[in-house]
Every structure is written in C-alpha cells, then in structure tokens.
Amino acid sequence: MNVIEPHFKKSACAYCGDAPVNHTFSYFLNLISTRMDFHIKKVARHAPKFLVRFADFIPKFTFETFALLGLAKFSDDIEKAKTFRSRVIWEEAKRRGIKMEQLMLWGKPMDYYRAFLNGRRIYFDSLPIPPEMLDMRENWDDKFALKRELAKNNIPAPECVALPIFYKKRAEEIFAKLEKPVIVKPRIGSRGRHTITNINTIEEFRRALKVAEAISPDLVAEEHLHGYICRATVVGGQLAGFYRAKPPHVVGDGKSTIRKLIEEKDKNRYQRVEKVDISEELMTHIAKSGFTLNDVLPEGRELSLSHRSGRLFGGTTREMLPLLHPSFVPILERVAKLLGLAVVGFDCIVPDPEVEASSQKWGIIEANTLPFIDLHYYALLGKPQNIAGMVWDLWGPLPGPLLAKERVDAKQAGEVNAPR
C-alpha cells in the first residue's frame, strides 16, 4: 500500500515536542481523570454484562443520531485520516476490501471511525479492537499503576514513586530516596510531553517538577535507565513489531563548538530526518552533561542532544523485530497477557536489543493501550511489519479480495511501501 510520509509540526512549547497540547485543558483533564479512574474501573469490574453492552452502544447511537440530524457525517476520504496510526489501519482495510469511514463532526475530521464487517457496523477510536478485548481492570496508561504491577510480577522496570498533588513539601525527602539520575514526568500522558531526564541535583529536581506540573497535577519520579528508547507492540498475544529509536547526538572533533557540530550534522542528515531544534530544552539537556552550545566538544566524545528519540528530532529509527534477541519475546508477550490487553505498545529502555535480556539492565517504562502502530511503518531503517493486518485479524476470518494464503504471504512479506 502507499503510505504518505508524516510531517513534523513544531510546537510553541519546547517541552511538548511534536505533540503540543493546551496546558490548562490538559492539567484539568488529568486532575479529573486520575481521581475518577479508580472508581470507574471499580464499578466496571462488577457491572452486569448488559450495562457494559449498553456503554459500548452509546457511541454508535450518539454519532448515528448526529448524522441523522445533519450535525455529523461519515466520510470515505482516506486523505482526511486524523492520525497516521488510523491511516495505516485504513490502508489495510482497503487492501482487504473492508469499507471504512471517518466521523466528520460539524465538518471537522475526528479520530473516530466505523467499518462494515460481516454485515454489521463496528465503531472504533483509531484502532479496530473488538469490544470484548477492551476491558481493563486498571488504567495501564497510568505509569505508576503499571510499574506497581510489573514490580509485583518481577518484570524489569525502573523504580518509580508517585508524586500526588501535595508532594511539594516532601520533594527533598522523596528525591533523597531515589537512585540517581532521576526522571520526572506526568503520571498519565504520552509522547514524552513535559518529561525531564537525567536529574542529579535537588535544584534540577525542583525545576523538573515545575515543568511537568504545567500539564498535570499528578507526577511520577523514576529511576533513569540508560539505553535506547524502544517500542514493542504486541497484538493478540504475539510480538508484532520492535522499533528502536536513537536520540540526536554529535561526536566531537576537538576543534568545533557544539553549535557548529549540530549545523554540520543538519547539513549531512538523511532526507527523512528533521533538523535538530536548538531550544531551551536542548540547552538544558546538554548542560546536565556539563556543556554549552559554544563549548568545543573533545575529540571522540559523543554527546546526546535530547531525551527525545527518533528521526523527527534529528535522531534515527530502526524497525528491528528480526534482529531482536529472542529472550525478550516471552517477557513482552507475558506482560501483555498479564495486563489483559489484546493490543498494547510497551516503551522500553534497552542498552542493546540484540543481546540476551538477562545480561543487561533494561526495563518497561510505559504501556500504551492505543499504540501508534505507524511507528513501525515509518522507521528510517529496517523492514516494516504489517501490524495493521494483525489488528484486523483479531476479528477472525473476513471476506475480501485476498485469499487466506495471500493474506499470510502479505503479512510475512510486510507489504508496506514505507517511504525511504
């Protein structure tokens, strides 16, 4: 299929990266959701099945009613797909002969869709996960709840401490108990928004708290693991993709300033790699290593420029499922089963994914219950994996133009024309 290259959008907030949010709205949304989530999950676990089915029916009823009143419509224009995650799902649906449409609310495209399968309409948010596979006893997007569960089951993960809204008076006490360096981030959230890494002093810790609390009242502080940021996506209990991202970095020649090295790096970058954004966040990041932009980097010294990884920030990415050491596979698949998730993306920190898992210090740092599967399609290097096909396979045998054998062959071949 023909996948269109995603474009990088600069954010007015350096700490939001490529995924800007309204700070005030995000703060109050997290304030409410964190406090209500426990009670909602508790009620849902004991709710009769007819109430669960009724809750699943509400979106369908709402949007169909809006369409009937002319307030909304469903569009079959794939070019308006809200996210690239949804686009790869839509491309795979078209390849299989599945009709898929997008909700347009007051003319604005939403990341909500419907598809026609075996004579019925299904409604979904970006990824078509069967409703019976969506039940969660916990909100696993909650970083503290996830780490607590991983610790109980002896799964590699960094030590993590929850920082509720009234943590400030105990900041120094909390920091003293954590192994250094430390990371501070919002308790719920993704895309690395307002995350501060490599914190070694109480002054850095206090500044990091101010940055993170701009979008969330509830934070976590955790041990800073060292290694590559990786995304492992599990679908239907099977590891479907493993993506490795490397942050932007420069290597010193003993003569050039760091600013000059960044300029040279940008001149010689891959076409699909964005320029390094010289921002306050970057300057703060390199300052923790003892450098400024005007310093000459010693010959052979490699300096990381950001905690953000991947080609959208001037780094590199590789889809490397075939290269992953097999010792990681049962661990990642076990965690997906433990959490009860049919589709999940795990963010991991791994020093070397090609080396035996038990021989190195690594850990799972986040779980994403609506993972960006498009990461595995747009990697700079490596062979894309047909994860969208595996998501559709959760619905069982589907009618369409491809025969069963052809579908298997397509999956094995990873027939995705990802941009080079």
pLDDT in tens, 280-310: 889 988 998 899 999 999 999 999 998 888 7
| 227, 362 contact by CB (below 8 A) | yes
**What is the pLDDT, as a whole number, of residue 48?**
58
**What is the pLDDT, as a whole number, of residue 415?**
40
Domains, the chain, in order of start with CATH, read 1-46+159-224 (3.30.1490.20), 47-133 (no CATH), 253-305 (no CATH)
The span from the CA of 301 to the CA of 89, in Å, is: 42
Only one residue has tokens 């479907």, namely 240
Which residues, at least 6 apart from 300, have a Cβ–Cβ distance to it below 8 Å?
A: 251, 252
> Which residues is 73 bridged to in the sheet?
104
Stretches where the chain sits below pLDDT 70 are: 1-12, 18, 33-61, 63-64, 67, 135-136, 165-169, 398-420
**What is the pLDDT, as a whole number, of residue 78?**
96
Q: Centre a 10 Å sphere on the Cβ of residue 268 and count the other Cβ atoms it contains.
A: 7
Q: For residue 190, how many C-alpha atoms fall within 13 Å in the half-sphere facing its CB?
A: 13
**What is the pLDDT, as a whole number, of residue 274?**
85
| 194, 16 contact by CB (below 8 A) | yes
pTM across the whole model: 0.81
**What is the pLDDT, as a whole number, of residue 15?**
81
Only one residue has tokens 């089915």, namely 53
**Residue 307, by phi and psi: left (phi above 0), alpha (psi -120 to 50) or beta?**
alpha
| 262, 277 contact by CB (below 8 A) | no
Q: Two tokens at 204?
A: 């850095």
The span from the CA of 397 to the CA of 407, in Å, is: 11
Q: How long, in residues, is the chain?
A: 420
